[in-house]
Amino acid sequence: MGPIQTFVVDGLTHEAKGVARLQGKVTFIEGALPGETVEAQVKKAGRRFDEAVLVNIVEPSAYRVEPSCQHFNVCGGCSFQHLADEQQLNAKSDWLKGQLRNLITTQELEQLSDKPNGYRRRARISVDFKKGRMGFGFRGKASSEIISIEQCVVLTPNLQKVFLSLKHALLKSDLVEALGHVELLEDTKGVSVLLRLTSSISDEHEKAWEDWAERQLVALYWQAPKVSKASVAPEKMRYYELSDLRLKYHPQDFIQVNATMNQKMVAQAMDWLSLDKHDVVLDLFCGVGNFSLPLALHAQSVIGVEVQDTMVEAARENARANGLENLSFVAADLTQPVNSEFFEQAITKVLLDPPRAGALEFLDSIIKIGPTQILYVSCNASTLARDAEYLVAKGYRVLRVSLMDMFPQTSHVETMMLLQKKK
Ligand SMILES: C[S@@+](CC[C@H](N)C(=O)[O-])C[C@H]1O[C@@H](n2cnc3c(N)ncnc32)[C@H](O)[C@@H]1O
Ligand code: SF4
Protein backbone atom coordinates (compact mmCIF):
# COMPACT_ATOMS: atom_id res chain seq x y z
CA MET A 1 0.00 0.00 0.00
CA GLY A 2 1.36 3.45 -0.94
CA PRO A 3 1.49 6.55 1.29
CA ILE A 4 -1.67 8.52 2.13
CA GLN A 5 -2.06 11.24 -0.51
CA THR A 6 -4.63 13.96 -1.20
CA PHE A 7 -6.73 13.69 -4.37
CA VAL A 8 -9.25 16.00 -6.00
CA VAL A 9 -11.97 13.85 -7.58
CA ASP A 10 -13.44 15.07 -10.87
CA GLY A 11 -15.23 12.09 -12.38
CA LEU A 12 -17.13 8.88 -11.68
CA THR A 13 -16.77 5.53 -13.44
CA HIS A 14 -19.66 3.30 -14.42
CA GLU A 15 -18.96 1.20 -11.31
CA ALA A 16 -19.16 4.33 -9.10
CA LYS A 17 -15.42 4.74 -8.51
CA GLY A 18 -14.21 8.31 -8.14
CA VAL A 19 -11.72 9.41 -10.82
CA ALA A 20 -8.80 11.66 -9.83
CA ARG A 21 -5.53 12.66 -11.46
CA LEU A 22 -2.24 12.92 -9.61
CA GLN A 23 0.72 14.20 -11.62
CA GLY A 24 -1.22 13.37 -14.76
CA LYS A 25 -1.90 9.75 -13.82
CA VAL A 26 -5.50 8.57 -13.44
CA THR A 27 -6.45 7.04 -10.08
CA PHE A 28 -9.70 5.24 -9.37
CA ILE A 29 -10.91 5.59 -5.78
CA GLU A 30 -13.76 3.38 -4.58
CA GLY A 31 -16.29 5.36 -2.53
CA ALA A 32 -15.12 8.85 -3.63
CA LEU A 33 -17.45 11.22 -5.48
CA PRO A 34 -16.88 13.99 -8.05
CA GLY A 35 -16.24 17.38 -6.43
CA GLU A 36 -14.66 15.83 -3.35
CA THR A 37 -11.19 16.25 -1.89
CA VAL A 38 -10.15 12.98 -0.30
CA GLU A 39 -7.19 11.21 1.22
CA ALA A 40 -6.49 7.80 -0.26
CA GLN A 41 -3.79 5.16 -0.50
CA VAL A 42 -2.79 3.50 -3.77
CA LYS A 43 -3.27 -0.26 -3.37
CA LYS A 44 -2.52 -1.24 -6.96
CA ALA A 45 -0.27 0.74 -9.28
CA GLY A 46 -0.70 0.03 -12.98
CA ARG A 47 0.99 1.34 -16.12
CA ARG A 48 -2.05 3.34 -17.25
CA PHE A 49 -3.90 3.91 -13.97
CA ASP A 50 -3.73 3.30 -10.22
CA GLU A 51 -6.39 2.00 -7.87
CA ALA A 52 -6.66 3.55 -4.41
CA VAL A 53 -8.49 2.96 -1.16
CA LEU A 54 -10.41 5.84 0.42
CA VAL A 55 -8.98 6.80 3.82
CA ASN A 56 -10.68 10.10 4.64
CA ILE A 57 -13.08 12.57 3.01
CA VAL A 58 -11.61 16.05 3.46
CA GLU A 59 -14.34 17.95 1.59
CA PRO A 60 -17.51 15.97 0.86
CA SER A 61 -19.68 16.37 -2.24
CA ALA A 62 -22.98 18.21 -1.80
CA TYR A 63 -24.62 15.08 -3.24
CA ARG A 64 -23.11 12.62 -0.75
CA VAL A 65 -25.81 10.92 1.32
CA GLU A 66 -25.84 8.35 4.13
CA PRO A 67 -26.18 4.87 2.51
CA SER A 68 -29.60 3.37 3.26
CA CYS A 69 -28.06 -0.06 3.87
CA GLN A 70 -25.79 -0.85 6.81
CA HIS A 71 -23.80 -3.30 4.62
CA PHE A 72 -23.14 -0.91 1.73
CA ASN A 73 -19.42 -0.44 2.41
CA VAL A 74 -18.68 -4.16 2.19
CA CYS A 75 -21.48 -5.79 0.15
CA GLY A 76 -20.88 -6.02 -3.60
CA GLY A 77 -24.61 -5.89 -4.42
CA CYS A 78 -24.88 -2.08 -4.58
CA SER A 79 -22.43 0.57 -5.70
CA PHE A 80 -24.31 3.90 -5.64
CA GLN A 81 -25.99 4.25 -2.23
CA HIS A 82 -23.68 7.09 -1.15
CA LEU A 83 -24.93 9.30 -4.00
CA ALA A 84 -28.31 11.13 -3.95
CA ASP A 85 -30.98 9.41 -6.09
CA GLU A 86 -31.21 12.15 -8.70
CA GLN A 87 -27.42 12.28 -9.08
CA GLN A 88 -27.31 8.50 -9.50
CA LEU A 89 -29.64 8.90 -12.46
CA ASN A 90 -27.56 11.77 -13.84
CA ALA A 91 -24.37 9.69 -13.51
CA LYS A 92 -25.99 6.74 -15.30
CA SER A 93 -27.38 9.06 -17.93
CA ASP A 94 -23.95 10.65 -18.62
CA TRP A 95 -22.38 7.22 -18.83
CA LEU A 96 -25.08 5.96 -21.22
CA LYS A 97 -24.71 9.03 -23.43
CA GLY A 98 -20.99 8.23 -23.60
CA GLN A 99 -21.67 4.63 -24.63
CA LEU A 100 -24.15 5.77 -27.30
CA ARG A 101 -22.09 8.79 -28.44
CA ASN A 102 -22.08 7.68 -32.09
CA LEU A 103 -25.85 7.31 -32.06
CA ILE A 104 -27.50 10.06 -30.02
CA THR A 105 -25.68 13.32 -30.54
CA THR A 106 -28.85 15.33 -31.03
CA GLN A 107 -31.40 13.28 -29.12
CA GLU A 108 -32.40 13.90 -25.57
CA LEU A 109 -32.02 10.83 -23.44
CA GLU A 110 -35.39 10.10 -21.83
CA GLN A 111 -35.64 8.60 -18.34
CA LEU A 112 -37.94 6.14 -16.65
CA SER A 113 -37.54 5.50 -12.92
CA ASP A 114 -39.35 4.44 -9.78
CA LYS A 115 -38.62 3.98 -6.07
CA PRO A 116 -34.92 3.53 -5.16
CA ASN A 117 -35.35 0.77 -2.52
CA GLY A 118 -37.68 -2.16 -1.84
CA TYR A 119 -37.95 -2.98 -5.55
CA ARG A 120 -36.15 -6.29 -6.03
CA ARG A 121 -38.56 -9.23 -6.35
CA ARG A 122 -35.89 -11.86 -6.88
CA ALA A 123 -32.55 -12.54 -5.19
CA ARG A 124 -30.01 -15.32 -5.00
CA ILE A 125 -28.49 -15.61 -1.53
CA SER A 126 -25.12 -17.31 -1.19
CA VAL A 127 -24.70 -19.71 1.71
CA ASP A 128 -21.57 -21.23 3.17
CA PHE A 129 -20.55 -23.00 6.28
CA LYS A 130 -16.94 -22.73 7.42
CA LYS A 131 -15.43 -23.55 10.80
CA GLY A 132 -18.88 -23.93 12.34
CA ARG A 133 -20.04 -20.50 11.14
CA MET A 134 -22.74 -19.82 8.59
CA GLY A 135 -22.30 -17.18 5.89
CA PHE A 136 -25.65 -15.99 4.44
CA GLY A 137 -25.65 -13.03 2.09
CA PHE A 138 -23.97 -11.64 -1.02
CA ARG A 139 -20.44 -11.52 -2.43
CA GLY A 140 -18.26 -8.71 -1.10
CA LYS A 141 -17.15 -5.53 -2.84
CA ALA A 142 -13.46 -6.22 -2.43
CA SER A 143 -13.46 -10.03 -2.65
CA SER A 144 -15.64 -12.95 -3.66
CA GLU A 145 -16.13 -13.85 0.00
CA ILE A 146 -19.71 -14.09 1.26
CA ILE A 147 -20.71 -11.10 3.37
CA SER A 148 -23.30 -12.02 5.99
CA ILE A 149 -26.29 -9.74 5.69
CA GLU A 150 -28.89 -8.78 8.31
CA GLN A 151 -31.16 -6.73 6.08
CA CYS A 152 -31.12 -5.98 2.35
CA VAL A 153 -33.07 -2.79 1.67
CA VAL A 154 -33.36 -3.21 -2.11
CA LEU A 155 -35.48 -6.35 -1.64
CA THR A 156 -39.26 -5.97 -1.53
CA PRO A 157 -40.54 -5.65 2.08
CA ASN A 158 -41.98 -9.20 1.97
CA LEU A 159 -38.66 -10.64 0.79
CA GLN A 160 -36.84 -8.73 3.54
CA LYS A 161 -39.08 -10.46 6.10
CA VAL A 162 -38.60 -13.93 4.70
CA PHE A 163 -34.84 -13.29 4.36
CA LEU A 164 -34.63 -12.76 8.13
CA SER A 165 -36.84 -15.67 9.19
CA LEU A 166 -35.01 -18.00 6.81
CA LYS A 167 -31.64 -16.90 8.14
CA HIS A 168 -32.75 -17.50 11.74
CA ALA A 169 -34.22 -20.90 10.89
CA LEU A 170 -31.02 -21.93 9.06
CA LEU A 171 -28.88 -20.89 12.04
CA LYS A 172 -30.75 -23.48 14.12
CA SER A 173 -30.59 -26.22 11.50
CA ASP A 174 -27.88 -28.37 9.95
CA LEU A 175 -29.51 -27.99 6.52
CA VAL A 176 -26.89 -25.34 5.81
CA GLU A 177 -24.29 -28.09 5.35
CA ALA A 178 -26.25 -29.45 2.37
CA LEU A 179 -27.14 -26.05 0.87
CA GLY A 180 -25.53 -24.41 -2.18
CA HIS A 181 -27.61 -21.27 -2.34
CA VAL A 182 -31.14 -19.94 -1.80
CA GLU A 183 -33.39 -18.10 -4.25
CA LEU A 184 -36.06 -15.72 -2.96
CA LEU A 185 -38.89 -14.68 -5.22
CA GLU A 186 -42.03 -12.58 -4.90
CA ASP A 187 -44.77 -12.36 -7.49
CA THR A 188 -48.55 -12.04 -7.62
CA LYS A 189 -48.90 -15.59 -6.28
CA GLY A 190 -46.90 -14.70 -3.14
CA VAL A 191 -43.42 -15.33 -1.77
CA SER A 192 -41.36 -18.41 -2.52
CA VAL A 193 -38.06 -19.87 -1.39
CA LEU A 194 -35.97 -22.23 -3.48
CA LEU A 195 -33.36 -24.29 -1.68
CA ARG A 196 -30.54 -25.54 -3.90
CA LEU A 197 -29.09 -28.70 -2.38
CA THR A 198 -25.52 -29.88 -2.88
CA SER A 199 -26.18 -33.23 -1.17
CA SER A 200 -29.31 -35.23 -0.38
CA ILE A 201 -31.21 -34.79 2.88
CA SER A 202 -33.53 -37.14 4.79
CA ASP A 203 -37.32 -37.20 4.33
CA GLU A 204 -37.81 -36.01 7.95
CA HIS A 205 -35.50 -33.10 7.35
CA GLU A 206 -37.40 -32.16 4.21
CA LYS A 207 -40.72 -32.44 6.06
CA ALA A 208 -39.48 -30.13 8.84
CA TRP A 209 -38.66 -27.48 6.24
CA GLU A 210 -42.02 -27.96 4.49
CA ASP A 211 -43.63 -27.25 7.90
CA TRP A 212 -41.47 -24.15 8.30
CA ALA A 213 -42.59 -22.91 4.88
CA GLU A 214 -46.24 -23.50 5.73
CA ARG A 215 -45.91 -21.48 8.94
CA GLN A 216 -44.22 -18.65 7.03
CA LEU A 217 -46.88 -18.78 4.28
CA VAL A 218 -44.22 -19.22 1.60
CA ALA A 219 -44.05 -21.77 -1.21
CA LEU A 220 -40.99 -24.00 -0.97
CA TYR A 221 -39.07 -25.49 -3.90
CA TRP A 222 -36.15 -27.91 -3.76
CA GLN A 223 -33.47 -28.14 -6.40
CA ALA A 224 -31.90 -31.58 -6.04
CA PRO A 225 -28.10 -32.02 -6.25
CA LYS A 226 -26.65 -32.10 -9.80
CA VAL A 227 -29.84 -31.05 -11.61
CA SER A 228 -29.97 -27.74 -13.48
CA LYS A 229 -33.55 -26.82 -12.56
CA ALA A 230 -35.96 -27.73 -9.77
CA SER A 231 -38.73 -30.07 -10.75
CA VAL A 232 -42.03 -28.23 -10.23
CA ALA A 233 -45.56 -29.68 -10.38
CA PRO A 234 -47.93 -27.79 -12.73
CA GLU A 235 -50.03 -26.44 -9.82
CA LYS A 236 -46.86 -25.11 -8.14
CA MET A 237 -45.78 -23.00 -11.14
CA ARG A 238 -45.48 -19.28 -10.34
CA TYR A 239 -47.31 -16.38 -11.98
CA TYR A 240 -47.20 -12.59 -12.08
CA GLU A 241 -49.74 -10.09 -13.31
CA LEU A 242 -49.08 -7.42 -15.87
CA SER A 243 -52.10 -5.13 -16.20
CA ASP A 244 -54.95 -7.55 -16.92
CA LEU A 245 -52.67 -10.34 -18.09
CA ARG A 246 -51.43 -13.24 -15.99
CA LEU A 247 -48.10 -14.84 -16.89
CA LYS A 248 -47.15 -18.24 -15.60
CA TYR A 249 -43.50 -19.28 -15.26
CA HIS A 250 -41.18 -21.75 -13.55
CA PRO A 251 -39.54 -20.26 -10.39
CA GLN A 252 -36.13 -20.38 -12.11
CA ASP A 253 -37.23 -18.88 -15.44
CA PHE A 254 -36.16 -15.36 -16.29
CA ILE A 255 -38.52 -12.61 -15.16
CA GLN A 256 -37.74 -8.88 -14.88
CA VAL A 257 -36.59 -8.28 -11.27
CA ASN A 258 -38.35 -4.95 -10.75
CA ALA A 259 -42.12 -5.43 -11.08
CA THR A 260 -43.13 -1.74 -11.13
CA MET A 261 -40.41 -0.80 -13.60
CA ASN A 262 -41.44 -3.77 -15.73
CA GLN A 263 -45.02 -2.41 -15.88
CA LYS A 264 -43.66 1.00 -16.89
CA MET A 265 -41.22 -0.47 -19.42
CA VAL A 266 -43.87 -2.60 -21.15
CA ALA A 267 -46.27 0.39 -21.22
CA GLN A 268 -43.52 2.55 -22.77
CA ALA A 269 -42.78 -0.12 -25.39
CA MET A 270 -46.48 -0.19 -26.37
CA ASP A 271 -46.56 3.61 -26.50
CA TRP A 272 -43.43 3.96 -28.64
CA LEU A 273 -44.43 1.21 -31.09
CA SER A 274 -48.02 2.57 -31.41
CA LEU A 275 -49.22 -0.62 -33.03
CA ASP A 276 -52.37 -1.06 -35.06
CA LYS A 277 -54.26 -4.05 -36.38
CA HIS A 278 -52.05 -4.21 -39.51
CA ASP A 279 -48.88 -4.81 -37.51
CA VAL A 280 -47.24 -8.22 -37.44
CA VAL A 281 -44.62 -8.17 -34.68
CA LEU A 282 -41.62 -10.41 -34.04
CA ASP A 283 -40.70 -10.54 -30.33
CA LEU A 284 -37.14 -11.92 -30.09
CA PHE A 285 -35.76 -13.35 -26.81
CA CYS A 286 -39.37 -13.38 -25.61
CA GLY A 287 -39.07 -15.41 -22.39
CA VAL A 288 -42.56 -16.42 -21.20
CA GLY A 289 -44.19 -13.63 -23.19
CA ASN A 290 -43.63 -10.51 -21.03
CA PHE A 291 -43.78 -8.28 -24.13
CA SER A 292 -45.46 -10.73 -26.56
CA LEU A 293 -48.82 -10.83 -24.76
CA PRO A 294 -49.22 -7.04 -24.37
CA LEU A 295 -48.08 -6.67 -28.03
CA ALA A 296 -50.77 -9.14 -29.11
CA LEU A 297 -53.47 -6.95 -27.52
CA HIS A 298 -52.67 -4.21 -30.07
CA ALA A 299 -51.23 -5.94 -33.16
CA GLN A 300 -52.68 -8.16 -35.86
CA SER A 301 -50.36 -10.96 -34.74
CA VAL A 302 -47.16 -11.64 -32.80
CA ILE A 303 -44.45 -14.30 -33.16
CA GLY A 304 -42.27 -14.84 -30.08
CA VAL A 305 -38.86 -16.54 -30.28
CA GLU A 306 -37.04 -18.00 -27.27
CA VAL A 307 -34.26 -20.58 -26.87
CA GLN A 308 -35.61 -22.45 -23.84
CA ASP A 309 -38.25 -25.01 -24.81
CA THR A 310 -39.90 -24.92 -21.38
CA MET A 311 -40.29 -21.14 -21.55
CA VAL A 312 -41.73 -21.40 -25.06
CA GLU A 313 -44.25 -23.92 -23.70
CA ALA A 314 -45.11 -21.57 -20.80
CA ALA A 315 -45.49 -18.66 -23.27
CA ARG A 316 -47.91 -20.73 -25.38
CA GLU A 317 -49.94 -21.61 -22.29
CA ASN A 318 -49.91 -17.94 -21.23
CA ALA A 319 -51.37 -16.93 -24.60
CA ARG A 320 -54.07 -19.62 -24.33
CA ALA A 321 -54.94 -18.85 -20.70
CA ASN A 322 -55.30 -15.14 -21.51
CA GLY A 323 -57.56 -15.88 -24.50
CA LEU A 324 -55.09 -14.57 -27.10
CA GLU A 325 -55.23 -16.41 -30.43
CA ASN A 326 -53.04 -14.10 -32.52
CA LEU A 327 -49.80 -15.30 -30.95
CA SER A 328 -47.39 -18.06 -31.89
CA PHE A 329 -44.08 -19.06 -30.35
CA VAL A 330 -40.99 -20.66 -31.85
CA ALA A 331 -38.12 -22.32 -29.96
CA ALA A 332 -34.87 -21.23 -31.61
CA ASP A 333 -31.31 -20.27 -30.72
CA LEU A 334 -30.91 -16.77 -32.13
CA THR A 335 -27.12 -17.00 -32.16
CA GLN A 336 -27.41 -19.69 -34.85
CA PRO A 337 -28.71 -19.28 -38.40
CA VAL A 338 -32.49 -19.54 -38.12
CA ASN A 339 -34.15 -21.30 -40.95
CA SER A 340 -37.70 -20.38 -40.37
CA GLU A 341 -41.12 -19.19 -41.23
CA PHE A 342 -40.25 -15.65 -39.98
CA PHE A 343 -39.12 -14.70 -43.42
CA GLU A 344 -42.36 -15.83 -45.03
CA GLN A 345 -44.52 -13.37 -43.10
CA ALA A 346 -44.78 -9.65 -43.70
CA ILE A 347 -43.35 -8.57 -40.35
CA THR A 348 -43.81 -4.84 -39.77
CA LYS A 349 -42.06 -4.37 -36.39
CA VAL A 350 -39.45 -6.20 -34.32
CA LEU A 351 -38.94 -6.02 -30.55
CA LEU A 352 -35.78 -7.60 -29.16
CA ASP A 353 -34.66 -8.01 -25.55
CA PRO A 354 -31.46 -10.08 -25.65
CA PRO A 355 -29.19 -11.16 -22.79
CA ARG A 356 -25.99 -9.16 -22.10
CA ALA A 357 -24.21 -10.57 -25.17
CA GLY A 358 -26.60 -8.69 -27.47
CA ALA A 359 -27.98 -9.95 -30.79
CA LEU A 360 -25.18 -9.45 -33.34
CA GLU A 361 -25.69 -12.87 -34.94
CA PHE A 362 -29.35 -12.15 -35.73
CA LEU A 363 -29.02 -8.59 -37.02
CA ASP A 364 -28.63 -9.57 -40.69
CA SER A 365 -31.82 -11.61 -40.41
CA ILE A 366 -33.66 -8.58 -38.98
CA ILE A 367 -32.34 -6.45 -41.84
CA LYS A 368 -33.51 -9.10 -44.32
CA ILE A 369 -36.97 -9.07 -42.71
CA GLY A 370 -36.92 -5.27 -43.13
CA PRO A 371 -39.33 -4.07 -40.37
CA THR A 372 -40.27 -0.38 -40.39
CA GLN A 373 -39.39 -0.14 -36.67
CA ILE A 374 -37.09 -2.01 -34.30
CA LEU A 375 -37.49 -1.62 -30.54
CA TYR A 376 -34.32 -2.73 -28.78
CA VAL A 377 -34.45 -3.36 -24.99
CA SER A 378 -30.98 -3.90 -23.56
CA CYS A 379 -29.29 -4.62 -20.22
CA ASN A 380 -25.83 -3.95 -21.67
CA ALA A 381 -25.23 -0.56 -23.25
CA SER A 382 -21.99 -1.58 -24.97
CA THR A 383 -23.57 -4.45 -26.96
CA LEU A 384 -26.58 -2.20 -27.62
CA ALA A 385 -24.25 0.48 -29.05
CA ARG A 386 -22.46 -2.11 -31.21
CA ASP A 387 -25.73 -3.59 -32.55
CA ALA A 388 -27.45 -0.24 -33.07
CA GLU A 389 -24.42 1.14 -34.96
CA TYR A 390 -24.66 -1.89 -37.25
CA LEU A 391 -28.40 -1.32 -37.84
CA VAL A 392 -27.78 2.39 -38.53
CA ALA A 393 -25.09 1.48 -41.08
CA LYS A 394 -27.67 -0.79 -42.75
CA GLY A 395 -30.41 1.80 -43.17
CA TYR A 396 -32.03 2.52 -39.78
CA ARG A 397 -31.99 5.70 -37.71
CA VAL A 398 -32.42 6.18 -33.98
CA LEU A 399 -35.75 7.82 -33.10
CA ARG A 400 -35.89 7.64 -29.27
CA VAL A 401 -33.74 6.38 -26.41
CA SER A 402 -34.67 5.94 -22.76
CA LEU A 403 -32.64 5.03 -19.71
CA MET A 404 -34.78 2.78 -17.52
CA ASP A 405 -33.59 2.63 -13.91
CA MET A 406 -34.51 -0.99 -13.38
CA PHE A 407 -31.80 -1.59 -10.74
CA PRO A 408 -31.42 1.53 -8.51
CA GLN A 409 -28.37 1.65 -6.19
CA THR A 410 -26.44 -0.65 -8.55
CA SER A 411 -24.41 0.26 -11.62
CA HIS A 412 -26.67 -1.73 -13.98
CA VAL A 413 -28.53 0.23 -16.62
CA GLU A 414 -31.45 -0.91 -18.77
CA THR A 415 -32.03 0.94 -22.04
CA MET A 416 -34.81 1.13 -24.62
CA MET A 417 -34.05 2.34 -28.16
CA LEU A 418 -36.48 2.80 -31.05
CA LEU A 419 -35.03 2.60 -34.56
CA GLN A 420 -36.88 3.52 -37.74
CA LYS A 421 -36.15 2.30 -41.27
CA LYS A 422 -34.96 5.17 -43.46
CA LYS A 423 -37.21 5.88 -46.46
C1 LIG B 1 -33.35 -10.40 -20.99
S2 LIG B 1 -34.34 -11.85 -21.06
C3 LIG B 1 -35.84 -11.17 -21.73
C4 LIG B 1 -37.05 -12.03 -21.62
C5 LIG B 1 -38.38 -11.34 -21.88
N6 LIG B 1 -38.33 -10.46 -23.02
C7 LIG B 1 -38.87 -10.61 -20.64
O8 LIG B 1 -39.01 -9.37 -20.69
O9 LIG B 1 -39.16 -11.25 -19.63
C10 LIG B 1 -33.59 -12.67 -22.40
C11 LIG B 1 -34.27 -13.96 -22.84
O12 LIG B 1 -33.53 -14.46 -23.96
C13 LIG B 1 -33.45 -15.88 -23.87
N14 LIG B 1 -32.25 -16.26 -24.63
C15 LIG B 1 -30.96 -16.26 -24.19
N16 LIG B 1 -30.13 -16.66 -25.18
C17 LIG B 1 -30.91 -16.90 -26.27
C18 LIG B 1 -30.64 -17.33 -27.60
N19 LIG B 1 -29.40 -17.59 -27.99
N20 LIG B 1 -31.67 -17.45 -28.47
C21 LIG B 1 -32.95 -17.18 -28.07
N22 LIG B 1 -33.27 -16.77 -26.81
C23 LIG B 1 -32.27 -16.63 -25.93
C24 LIG B 1 -33.37 -16.14 -22.37
O25 LIG B 1 -33.78 -17.47 -22.08
C26 LIG B 1 -34.30 -15.07 -21.80
O27 LIG B 1 -35.62 -15.56 -21.70
S1 SF4 C 1 -27.45 -5.70 -2.12
FE2 SF4 C 1 -28.70 -5.45 -0.26
S3 SF4 C 1 -27.31 -5.89 1.39
FE4 SF4 C 1 -26.03 -5.49 -0.37
S5 SF4 C 1 -25.56 -3.29 -0.27
FE6 SF4 C 1 -27.38 -3.51 -1.54
S7 SF4 C 1 -29.09 -3.24 -0.13
FE8 SF4 C 1 -27.28 -3.68 1.13
Three-state DSSP state, 22: strand
The enclosing H or E element of 368 equals: helix 360-369
| Lowest model confidence (mean pLDDT) among 21-25, 202-206, 216-220 | 21-25
**Atom 8 of ligand 1, residue of closest alpha carbon:** 290
CA of 72 to the centre of ligand 2 (A): 6
pLDDT at 106: 66
Class of domain 92-116+257-421: alpha beta
d(CA 188, CA 240): 5
pLDDT tens column, 396-415: 999 999 999 999 999 999 99
The Å distance, Cα 285 to ligand 1 centre, comes to: 4
- Kindly list the distances between the CA atom of residue 113 and the CA atoms of 89, 90, 158, in Å, as whole numbers in the listed order: 9, 12, 21
pLDDT band at 340 (very low <50, low <70, confident <90, very high): low
Domain 4-64 fold is OB fold (Dihydrolipoamide Acetyltransferase, E2P) (2.40.50)
Class level of CATH domain 122-226: mainly beta
Mean predicted confidence (pLDDT) in 366-384: 96
pLDDT at 128 exceeding the cut of 80: yes
Helical axes 381-393 vs 85-99, angle rounded to 10°: 40
pLDDT of 358 higher than 80: yes
The catalytically annotated residue of 147, 299, 379, 391 is 379
Can you give the pTM of this predicted structure? 0.95
Is residue 286 part of the annotated active site? The answer reads: no
| Three-class DSSP category at 365 | helix
Q: 190-197 and 133-139: which strand pairing? A: unpaired
Q: How confident is the model at residue 132 (pLDDT cuts 50, 70, 90)?
A: confident
β-sheet bridge partners, residue 349: 281, 373
Identify whether the C-beta of residue 222 lies closer than 8 Å to the C-beta of residue 201.
Answer: no
Per-residue confidence band for 144, with pLDDT thresholds at 50, 70 and 90: confident
Provide the residue ranges of all domains of the chain, joining segments of one domain with +: 4-64, 92-116+257-421, 122-226
With pLDDT > 70 as the criterion, what percentage of the chain qualifies? 98
4-64 and 122-226: identical CATH topology: yes
